[in-house]
Amino acid sequence: MGLRINTNVAALQAQRNLGKTTSSLNKALERLASGQRIVSAGDDAAGLAISEGLRSQVRGLRQAIRNANDAGGFLTTAEGALAEMTNITQRLRELAIQAANGSLGPTDRGFLDSERAELVQEFNRIANQTTFNTTKLLDGTFQTVDLQVGVQKGESISFTIGDARATSLGTLARKQSIRHGLDDWSDGVRINQVNIVVNSNDDNVSPSSAQNYSAIAVARAVNRVSGQTGVVADVLQNVVNLDNLEFGGFEGVLLQGDMRINGVDIVV
């Protein structure tokens, strides 16, 4: 019995074309379902790299927008609190003007002072309790923060909020005159709580044996810190009494009027 092989080239060609068509159809369906032209790297490797970079930029910008919106809520909270505190300060000013009216008696001014005390208490309460996401905003503990509003490093906005409590905003002025005496300490003299240190470099006129404690050295040491003490010393260098020494030298001895501090003669 003979062997026969049956074949149908046309059918095989049709089957091959059908497979290609089915593959193209499936790819088209995937693109329609995803809404993207590039579904896998096999579709377009270079295009996929570009699209991923753009997608990263878009997602970063979306997050930056959310950051800006969060910052807006952050600042709105602080602004609302400050607006209410401004209203309180305006009312305090009105009370001060009203209390200055001579037609009011002690009782009336007492009522005004009671309202003032309550307003100050409310002012401090707002400053101490204004919070956003567990962060105190107006009590002086708020640190400088950076708001990331871009997709790159450095694309941020920095801001800080100062202490808004009444004790920090108010200014108290008082005129007072204080006089301190001279206090002794181990290395010299203390004037108005400032230590006066005398050294030989302050005197380049007197003999070396007398430079450390000469009137010139003391005066220059006092004047060096006059901005802190308010004390100015003056030396009359032309008043000198010379004493002979054993080795033929001499030194200056201070007399009445040799040194003057703030116009007062000093005897050393």
265: enclosing H helix or E strand: strand 264-266
Q: Tally Cβ neighbours within 10 Å of residue 214.
A: 26
**251 torsion bin: left (phi>0), alpha (psi -120 to 50), beta (else):** beta
In whole angstroms, give the CA distance from residue 217 to residue 196.
Answer: 11
* H or E element in which residue 132 lies: strand 131-132
CB contact at 8 A, 184 and 193: no
228: pLDDT strictly greater than 60: yes
Task: Please calculate the CA angle 106-111-112 and round it to the nearest 5 degrees.
Answer: 95
Out of 82-86, 88-92, 241-245, least confident range:
241-245
pLDDT of residue 263: 55
Confidence of residue 111 (pLDDT cuts 50, 70, 90): very high
Q: What percent of the chain has pLDDT over 90?
A: 19
Map out the domains of the chain with their CATH numbers: 49-169 (1.20.1330.10), 182-266 (no CATH)
Determine the Cα–Cα distance for residues 101 and 162; give it in Å rounded to an integer.
35
Residue of 217 and 19 predicted with greater confidence: 19
Least confident interval from 140-144, 154-158, 198-202, 262-266 = 262-266
Statement: residue 208 has pLDDT above 70: no
What is the model's pLDDT at position 122?
Answer: 94
Position 75 scores a pLDDT of 87
Residue 110 pLDDT exceeds 50: yes
Hey, which of 97-101, 221-225, 234-238 has the most confident mean pLDDT? 97-101
pLDDT of residue 213: 57
Mean pLDDT highest for which of 102-116, 180-194, 253-267? 102-116
Distance of CA 130 to the CA centre of its chain: 19
User: Is pLDDT of 231 > 70?
Assistant: yes
* Average pLDDT of span 51-73: 87
What six digits make up the tokens of 238?
A: 């032309």
Between 2 and 89, the more confident residue is 89
